[in-house]
Amino acid sequence: MPPGSRALLFALVTLLVVLLIVDDLTQVENAQTAVHTELTPDPSSGTRLTPDPSSGTHLNSHQSRDTGNWTFNHTLANLIRKDILRFLDPVRDLSILRGAVSPGDTVHYVLDRHSSTHISDTLYRLLPSAPPLRRLHHHSCAIVGNSGILLDSRCGPEIDRHDFVIRCNLAPVEEFSADVGSRTDLVTMNPSVVQRAFGDLQTEEWRRRFTHRLKALGDGVLWVPAFMAKGGEERVEWALQLIQEQGLEVRTAVPSLRLLHAVRGYWLTKHVPIKRPSTGLFMYTLATRFCSQLHLYGFWPFPRDPRGAPVKYHYYDRLTYQYTSSSSPHTMPLEYRTLRTLHGQGALRLHTGPCEEPPTH
């Protein structure tokens, strides 16, 4: 592509993203005044190209209004929990149990039905024999997404104060704990993470780093969607072998084969057509079962914050934006609008600004 058209393309994409953000914030306003039980995002929202000239000035007041006068609607949260339970049982679907399979069983990939793999001996031995959640009721839970919006948020202490903390894709916490906290009760790990963040465990150094990261989880749950899509089977196997060799305390969980369809089915009935829900949306859907109050941090699929400052895609690496490209399997802006609407209704709390210390009495 000649440099001229690349710059033009970049400008266009930036404009679109800015319009999406402005639009999202306008939707919050609507959501706060009207209580809808249906989560239909405005179908025109992604394509509207006439910015509301007044909306730019709203951006800052929005954030403070969000934090100043916002309450959980427990009636709504209970309705959502019951509704989700019609599609899946998060406690059971959180992991395949050892008693339900045998080593050598053939498993078809959820997204590639024509390809299959086997339950390896290692995987079999590391499957839980009972559902991996110790407690089925937590007062407040945090789900921590990986957006760069967390940098300089100082949300770490607040995140760590929740009763149960869920993180995504084995994101590093040590060097970022002031902003992201360090407590982890459940963390997801897509097979690709073994390659992207841990050099496929091919050298001693990578194996040492991986072991170190997992040790920090103590006996938390490592949730590995091993059978979602084809391609990661050796990576999962290498990771599990290492866990076994080192006798690590971390408890492995592998989501049930029906989970994806169930989650997708639930959101479809809410008119949110998501082909492949992101890890974050999976975690929200599951956590409604065992958390009364759900707080989401680090969910911000835009390259600029509400004040216009650049935001990294992940808080910890150099990956760049793919959310709005058609090649990405996830539909982050749609998911984000959905979560925003739920936030406006009091079903969950989305934290996108910096955190404050609690008032001292």
Ligand X SMILES: *[C@@H]1O[C@H](CO)[C@@H](O)[C@H](O)[C@H]1NC(C)=O
Is residue 356 part of the contact set for ligand X (CB under 6 A)?
no
Question: 36 or 261: whose CB is closer to ligand X?
Answer: 36
Coil, helix or strand at residue 207 = helix
- What burial class does residue 258 get, using C-beta atoms within 10 Å of its C-beta: 0-12 exposed, 13-18 middle, 19+ buried? middle
Q: Which of 11, 12, 35, 100 binds ligand X (CB under 6 A)?
A: 35
Torsion of CA 207, 212, 216, 219, to 10 degrees: 50
Q: Which of 162, 330, 343, 351 is catalytic?
A: 330
**Interacting residues with ligand X between 178 and 207 (CB under 6 A):** none
Question: 13 or 76: whose CB is closer to ligand X?
Answer: 76
Least distance to ligand X, CB of residue 141, Å: 20
Let me know: does 352 contact 63? Beta carbons within 8 Å: yes
Least distance to ligand X, CB of residue 68, Å: 5
Rounded to the nearest angstrom, the gap between the alpha carbon of residue 241 and the centroid of all alpha carbons in its chain is: 26
* Residues touching ligand X, count (CB under 6 A): 9
Among 192, 184, 152, 198, smallest CA distance to 283 is for 184
**Interacting residues with ligand X between 51 and 90 (CB under 6 A):** 68-69, 73, 75-76, 79
Least distance to ligand X, CB of residue 296, Å: 19
Least distance to ligand X, CB of residue 80, Å: 9
Question: 11 or 79: whose CB is closer to ligand X?
Answer: 79
In order of 17, 54, 163, 329, 335, the CA distances from 47 in angstroms are 11, 19, 40, 20, 16
Catalytic residue status for 330: yes
Question: 14 or 64: whose CB is closer to ligand X?
Answer: 64
Question: 44 or 69: whose CB is closer to ligand X?
Answer: 69
Phi, psi of 350 (to 5 degrees): -100, 120
Least distance to ligand X, CB of residue 153, Å: 23
Is residue 40 part of the contact set for ligand X (CB under 6 A)?
no
Least distance to ligand X, CB of residue 77, Å: 9
From residue 251 to residue 270, the character string flagging contacts with ligand X as x (rule: CB under 6 A) and all else as - is: --------------------
Residue 230 half-sphere exposure, CB side, CA atoms within 13 Å? 11
Coil, helix or strand at residue 100 = helix
Name, in order, each residue with C-beta under 8 angstroms of 280's C-beta and a sequence gap of 6 or more. Answer: 143, 145, 168, 296, 299, 335
Kindly report the CA angle at 77 between 76 and 80, in degrees rounded to 5? 85
Question: 73 or 293: whose CB is closer to ligand X?
Answer: 73
Is residue 37 part of the contact set for ligand X (CB under 6 A)?
yes
From CA 46, how far away is CA 24, in angstroms rounded?
A: 9
Question: 37 or 60: whose CB is closer to ligand X?
Answer: 37
Give residue for tokens 């770490």: 156
Let me know: does 271 contact 40? Beta carbons within 8 Å: yes
Least distance to ligand X, CB of residue 75, Å: 4
- Pairing, β 186-188 against β 164-167: parallel
Three-state SS letters, 54-95: CHHHHHHHHHHHHHHCCCCCHHHHHHHHHHHHCCCCHHHHCC
* Footprint of ligand X (CB under 6 A): 35, 37, 68-69, 73, 75-76, 79, 346
The catalytic residue positions are 330
